[in-house]
Structure 1
Amino acid sequence: MSSEHPGKPAYSPGFGNEHSSEAVPGALPVGQNSPQRPPLALYAEQVSGSAFTEPRAQNRRSWLYRIRPSAVHPPFARIANGGLRGAPFTETEPDPNRLRWDPLPEPAPDTDFITGLRTLGGNGDIRQRSGLAIHLYAANTSMRDRVFSNSDGELLIVPEHGTLQLHTEFGIIRATPGDIALIPRGVRFRADLPDGTARGYVCENYGRPFVLPDLGPVGANGLANARDFLAPSAAYEDIERPVEVINKFCGNLWAATYGHSPLDVVAWHGTHVPYLYDLRRFNVLGSISYDHPDPSIFTVLTSPSDTPGLAGIDFVVFAPRWLVGEDTFRPPYFHRNVMSEYMGLISGSYDAKAEGFRPGGGSLHNMMSAHGPDRETFDRASAADLVPQKTDDGLAFMFETRWPVTLTEQARSGGQLQHGYDQVWDGLARNFSL
């Protein structure tokens, strides 16, 4: 038998909620997780994204009702890693310099999402489940009879160009530029390219799963709303032909050829699920009196650490917003930060840089490196008429992390690294006078 029942992308809302979905009515058991004979002769299987005994509020698990159990597969064998690298990152020395890159070039023909991944750098230790890796992708073909899963961490995918149609075990996520897709640790998926080409960014989170940040004095509302995170509806494949299944495990790629598609989940329920989120729905908060707030006010998701308030990773978006601060230098201020900041640009331009920061490119300001607006932006903002101003000509984001980001050799010498980035601050002259 060989047939596909992919359905159309359909979603249920609510980040961290208990979700459920069935592609065939009656496929979900009622009142228990693992009956002696599940409906439709399916197999019951739990996938756990957290330890069984973690607190209920932090526990991540889902029950899958599938055509074949995941245990049915041949041995995996090591394959080449391509452009992927993993922690610990030791190819280069940690660099205190401000760094900026152009977008990836056009990939070679027949490059899919997996072969199109290139690791920029990261920190932590995969085997200790700490830290992150920052990847870029550029692809021009769909994953044909290939499926990917990542045992090392969850994947936060940020498209910059082209649509990614992600066929996951839980259903289909269709992510376009301006969206993010979150694939939990261990969840299998295939990336198709409806537009023919795609490019973007990936944050691989080795640590605790992303959650919505606490709001504290902000109150009950604001920033990213849980109901705007969408979980997919069940959609399965009943395909019996060779399918290559690639697993990223402890930084390396392993592959096995199954005789069927592992995306054969007919129904599911749980909390360890993929999500889609439209960054343009972010409810921006800011000053309505004076001074630019700290960029933490733009946090969409956070991966907590063992120190309260100190994130392993924060995912931050600079979405369209009004600027109304009086007697205020409105672009981001000059600063040095104990956190390390990798910034990417999805569309348009960023209000702290006049040129050189392009969609698909990125910049890295490691911990305590001094940065801020370039000279042209400083001059313009210092003389601007401070009327209410709508900033809506760009969409930028930041992966912020508690540890320095160490580069891969390919990021250091691959040709996209801009030389002379420091020169954007040339001409910020001494203005001091008594």
Structure 2
Amino acid sequence: MPWIQIPKVEGTASRQAHADLPANTYERELGKEGFYGPATQMHHRHPPTGWSAIEGPLKPHAFDTQKLDAAGEGPWQSPLLFSNPAIRIRFLKLANNMDHLARNADGDELLFIHRGAGDLYCDYGRLTFREGDYLMLPRGTMWRIDVKEAVGALMIEATEDSYRLPEKGLVSHQAIFDPAILDTPKIDEAFLAQQDESAWRVVVKKKNDLSTLTYPFNPLDAVGWHGTLMPVRLNWRDIRPLMSHRYHVPPSAHTTFAAGRFVVCTFVPRPFESDPHVLNVPFFHSNDDYDELIFYHAGQFFSRDHIYPGMMTLHPGGIPHGPHPKALQNAEKKRGTMTDEVAVMVDTRDALDVTDEARAIEWAGYVDSWK
């Protein structure tokens, strides 16, 4: 069914979004369906995040994954930080090789390697990985990790769902990243060498309960396969972001993977906007249909202050969010010609629940950082 849309201009307003803003105003975008639906640009006399206090549960949050407990034995021992019926987000820490296989029967799994390196062994073969890699594992894949360097990884489960590539629209299927760059596991000498007749455990998660299957042999015993369903690897360095020197493109332009009720976006270094009449920091926005969770991987996120790699922020739908005051003050004083940031954003259509494990690593003063 079509949206109710009546193009209209009221009062003092710019002719185009994010450009030629009226003097001494702050733009806020109100949108439906994240950045995919109809939207209006509002022009305010004061920053929409200029609150003096917030009471109640609806407030921005920040968390520090570096404060999580020491490394565990596998993914299901990793703390669950955020969830809703469509997604479950954990942070995996491994210092040693996994001594068992894991299988997620609840949905596809996406790992983003924040630090470390190693080999992922799965039904399909061996896949090496390093810092900055995404590893997408289809639902039901058996896998384990051999650690070369201690691993810290964001885990994003698409509960009862599958990961797909976003629609590319006008810019062709090769835009953002060419699917030809996706790497797949190999049945190589190392994979064949790990096959043995020793007892192996497979810890299966289904409806968030764990079951253990024990085999008298290594069930990663494939000798070949063919088809169109398989794990894939993508490094953020292979992403070529959409950008415009005359327009600050919305986060939806950076979508990397999509599921039914959320999207995963990747922010990577890109040139600053060069047109003197356009915004070069993220615009204030009220996308009340989505929660916005960002994991900061590397660099300095130019719209945030006191946020460093390994931290996460959660901006729930229902209150406006946007750049920090320092970012606004320095908007015209760019640090060089390129942004310096790598971050993973998860926009969820359903509100995220914050677990006790996440609250234990929360920076409570984040809500006051806009004052």
Counterparts of residues 18-417 of structure 1 (less than 5 Å)? 95-105=57-67, 107-108=69-70, 111-114=72-75, 116-124=77-85, 131-144=86-99, 146-195=100-149, 197-234=150-187, 235-236=191-192, 237-289=194-246, 291-303=247-259, 305=260, 312-326=261-275, 327-337=277-287, 338-355=289-306, 357-381=307-331, 383-384=332-333, 389-391=337-339, 393-412=340-359, 414=360, 416-417=361-362
Distance 1:367 1:189 in 2: 35
Structure 1 residue 358, shift from structure 2 partner: 2.1
Structure 1 residue 384, shift from structure 2 partner: 2.5
Structure 1 residue 354, shift from structure 2 partner: 2.4
Structure 1 residue 388, shift from structure 2 partner: 7.8
**Other-structure match for 1:425:** 370
What TM-score do the two structures reach when normalised by structure 1? Answer: 0.68
Cα deviation, 1:23-44, whole Å, max 9, x if unaligned, reads xxxxxxxxxxxxxxxxxxxxxx
Letter in 1 for 2:164: V
Letter in 2 for 1:406: D
Q: Is the 8 A contact 1:143 1:190 kept in 2?
A: yes
Distance change >3 Å, CA 217–CA 113, structure 1 → 2: same
Distance 2:114 2:278 in 1: 31
Gaps of 5+ in 1: 1-93, 125-130, 306-311, 427-434
What TM-score do the two structures reach when normalised by structure 2? Answer: 0.79
Cα deviation, 1:300-358, whole Å, max 9, x if unaligned, reads 1111x3xxxxxx12110001111234122212111121211110011122111122x22
Cα deviation, 1:134-189, whole Å, max 9, x if unaligned, reads 11112211112x11100001110001111142111101122211110011100000
Percent of aligned pairs with the same residue?
25
Distance change >3 Å, CA 96–CA 207, structure 1 → 2: farther
Q: Is the 8 A contact 2:273 2:279 kept in 1?
A: no
Farther-moved stretch of structure 1 (325-334 vs 259-268): 325-334
Structure 1 residue 116, shift from structure 2 partner: 4.9
Distance 2:127 2:67 in 1: 26
Give SS of 2:67's match: coil
Letter in 2 for 1:346: H
Distance 2:234 2:112 in 1: 10
Distance 1:148 1:239 in 2: 18
Q: Note the aligned Cα RMSD (angstroms).
A: 2.0
Distance change >3 Å, CA 220–CA 256, structure 1 → 2: closer
Structure 1 residue 403, shift from structure 2 partner: 0.8
Letter in 1 for 2:271: W
Distance change >3 Å, CA 185–CA 220, structure 1 → 2: closer
Give SS of 1:348's match: strand
Segments ≥4 residues shifted beyond 3 Å? 104-109
Gaps of 5+ in 2: 1-55
Cα deviation, 1:229-274, whole Å, max 9, x if unaligned, reads 1111123443111212100011111112221111111101112211
